[in-house]
Amino acid sequence: MDSEMAAWLRQQREDRGWSKAETARRLIQAGREAGDTAVPELSGMLHNIHRWEREGGISERHKLHYCRALGIHPSQFGPHPSAELATMTSPQPCTATAAADSMTALVPTQCSMTPGVAYPIPLPSALVTYRGMQEPTPGHFTVEQEVMMAAHKGSDHAAEHEQHGTGEATLEQLHADLARLSHLTDAGPPLTAFLESRTVRDRLYRLLDRRQRPREQADLYFLAGCVNGLMGITANRLGYPDAAEELIRAGWAYANIIDHNALRGMLRAKLSTVMYWRGRFRESHDLAADGLRYSSQGPMGANLYLNQACAAARLGDLDTARQAVGLAHAAREGDYRDELVTIGGEEFSLSRATTYAKGGRARVDTGTDADAREAVEELEGAISLYDQSGSPGEEHWFGGKALAGTDLAVVRLRSGALDGAVTALGPVLALPSAQRVATLTTRLARVREELAAPVFRGSQQARDLSDHIEEFDREAVTAGLHSLHG
């Protein structure tokens, strides 16, 4: 709870003599002028203002609307404004490019300034955060991008001048890039991970267009299959399942060219996951079963069994679901290593935490009291393991703990434990917008279905939780992205 921010927001309103209703109307107007098509109606905005003035926790998107309504620069927002940023007072020129940029519409430009009010230039960090692109400061992002582009250019130049196909230095760098991308996909903003993966894939394609020795060509196909798989799962998180399917199938083609069973198994697991979140449970089940022909042991075998279990549960095949969960735990045990596991990261392996979380999800959907008890046990165990991130073999993707918390909330709501559901969802609903991915918004829809049950009718706490989920959806990364540019 941010009591200082809550007090500051209340003070700003009272200093201007505005009621909460007047503040809500001004925020709605500011949002619409900024081109925010998802701005809440009056009742929803009133609810938000009441919560913000009690708890703080206002999103970057609404901070910008407040700045427009209050007539202040983003650097002046909040109880501790930045003196350094407050010095940025040069107005932004009104150019055709600036006018066409949907992001710059979020704060005033010279074109829309109120006479007599001095507006500093808009802050890129707030705009980027609103669009869900990433969380770092603009300086950090710019420097990081420049450094990485310089590094990539060096790699490309070296590859062009190595003799006789692709040299060892280039292949070594590409393998290092793949490991880095795996960790970025786990922990970084999804759009950043997608664009960086695309850069590496483009370099792979340029190399594949050149004449290669057979061994080098096979290595490049393996890398291309892996990178397409990462791009596919990231595209799905960003809310582009059609693109995700196409990317993963491209990876599958490379796996078939080199007859690589472990890579086939991994890509079947990824495509099965995409189908599950699309609600195509039969296809998800069948893809997982097909993947088990290629990879039935180790972390990837466990992942495929768990995908099969989750899909079977949604299809009502409870015996298959329970059996597959047991087989997943058995496959996950033991010291298993292959070419994918050595890359590192959740997408090429499967942590114990996610094993428990997906097993719990399958049991949530089987529906019996005994399964519900086991689901709670597995999900609580998963959350505990997620909190131990950094242990050997426990590399987690950023949404794993949140999905486990969401599944736990579903179980608790089915037993009427509304307080327990609110507690489970606390860390989920506090995620930054860049990590509010499509899989989370899809699963939170199940929570809202449970909140609509007759037992919760008339409950203000249930209505508040449903409203909070609706706001979470509006702030999700998928709500701000309109296309994957370039």
Give pLDDT tens digits for 358-370.
999 999 877 677 8
Q: How many domains are there within the chain?
A: 2
Point out the domain boundary residue: 231, 256, 281. 256
Which single residue is written with the structure tokens 């505990």?
384
Does residue 141 sit in the same domain as residue 206? yes
Q: Cβ atoms within 10 A of the Cβ of 277, count?
A: 18
The confidence band for 486, taking pLDDT boundaries of 50, 70 and 90, is: very low
Does residue 98 sit in the same domain as residue 12? yes
Residue 99 has pLDDT above 80, yes or no: no
Residue 481 has pLDDT above 60, yes or no: no
Residue 378 has pLDDT above 80, yes or no: yes
- What lies within 8 Å, CB to CB, of 103 at 6+ separation is 127, 128, 130, 131
**Contact (CB, 8 A) for 437 and 193:** no
Lowest mean pLDDT among 119-128, 142-151, 362-371, 456-465: 119-128
Q: Which residue has the higher pLDDT, 141 or 12?
A: 12
Examine residue 102 and state whether it is found in any structural domain, yes or no: yes
Does residue 50 sit in the same domain as residue 86? yes
Does residue 137 sit in the same domain as residue 124? no
Does residue 126 sit in the same domain as residue 209? no
* pTM (whole model) above 0.85: no
Examine residue 394 and state whether it is found in any structural domain, yes or no: no
Which single residue is written with the structure tokens 């699309």?
278
The confidence band for 416, taking pLDDT boundaries of 50, 70 and 90, is: very high
Q: Which residue has the higher pLDDT, 98 or 296?
A: 296
Mean pLDDT of the residues in the chain: 81
CA distance 120 to 289: 58
Instruction: From residue 334, give the alpha-carbon distance in Å to each of 264, 294, 299, 343, 355.
Output: 22, 19, 10, 18, 14
Residue 296 has pLDDT above 80, yes or no: yes
- What lies within 8 Å, CB to CB, of 3 at 6+ separation is 56
Does residue 17 sit in the same domain as residue 123? yes
Q: Which residue has the higher pLDDT, 89 or 481?
A: 481
Examine residue 377 and state whether it is found in any structural domain, yes or no: no
Examine residue 172 and state whether it is found in any structural domain, yes or no: yes
Among candidate residues 286, 316, 278, the one with its CA nearest the CA of residue 304? 286
Point out the domain boundary residue: 230, 256, 282. 256
49: containing domain? 3-130
Which tokens sit at 201? 């894939």
Does residue 166 sit in the same domain as residue 83? no
Point out the domain boundary residue: 238, 256, 274. 256
Among candidate residues 266, 331, 265, the one with its CA nearest the CA of residue 298? 331
CA distance 50 to 478: 26
**Contact (CB, 8 A) for 205 and 224:** yes
Does residue 142 sit in the same domain as residue 251? yes
Does residue 52 sit in the same domain as residue 142? no
Does residue 194 sit in the same domain as residue 121? no
Does residue 120 sit in the same domain as residue 14? yes
Does residue 153 sit in the same domain as residue 39? no
**Contact (CB, 8 A) for 393 and 351:** yes
